[in-house]
């Protein structure tokens, strides 16, 4: 028969591990203009292959930045993504086209400048 302390520890470990798994791999991208101000209404697309990024096909996820200049994507693979951020005649070409590898089960944060 297990002692109450061992059962309590096992339950705590189970709860802690379960809580850790609730968060899916996510990314929150903040878009700023060349003056450093956040930009609302920016179309953001993620691609997992450079070829798809170049041809703008097979988009993994896409969205638009909110009033704070942020767009969030959930349930992603822990991988590196190519990003196109575009609003009018401004985009992120020339810098910030690829994220680092996302950490699994975390909310990853990236800032991209469009000009």
> What does the domain layout of the chain look like in residue ranges?
24-114
Which one, of 36, 81, 39, lies nearest residue 62 by Cα? 81
Residue 46's pLDDT is what? 98
Domain 24-114: assigned CATH number: 2.60.40.1120
- Sign, CA dihedral 86-92-48-66, equals negative
The predicted-structure confidence for 59-89, as pLDDT tens digits, reads as follows 999 999 999 999 999 999 999 999 999 999 9
| pLDDT of 13 above 90 | no
| pLDDT of 114 above 70 | yes
Q: How far apart are CA 75 and CA 31, in angstroms?
A: 20
The pTM score is 0.80
Strand partners, 111: 30
Residue 3's pLDDT is what? 55
């Amino acid at each position: 028969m297990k002692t109450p302390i061992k059962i309590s520890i096992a339950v705590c470990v189970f709860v802690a591990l379960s809580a850790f798994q609730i968060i899916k791999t996510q990314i929150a991208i903040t878009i700023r203009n060349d003056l450093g101000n956040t930009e609302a209404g920016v179309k953001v697309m993620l691609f997992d292959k450079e070829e798809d990024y170049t041809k703008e096909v097979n988009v993994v996820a896409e969205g638009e930045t909110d009033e704070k200049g942020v767009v969030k994507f959930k349930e992603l693979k822990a991988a590196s993504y190519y990003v196109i951020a575009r609003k009018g005649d401004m985009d992120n070409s020339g810098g910030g086209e690829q994220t680092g590898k996302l950490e699994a089960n975390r909310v990853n944060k990236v800032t991209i400048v469009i000009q």
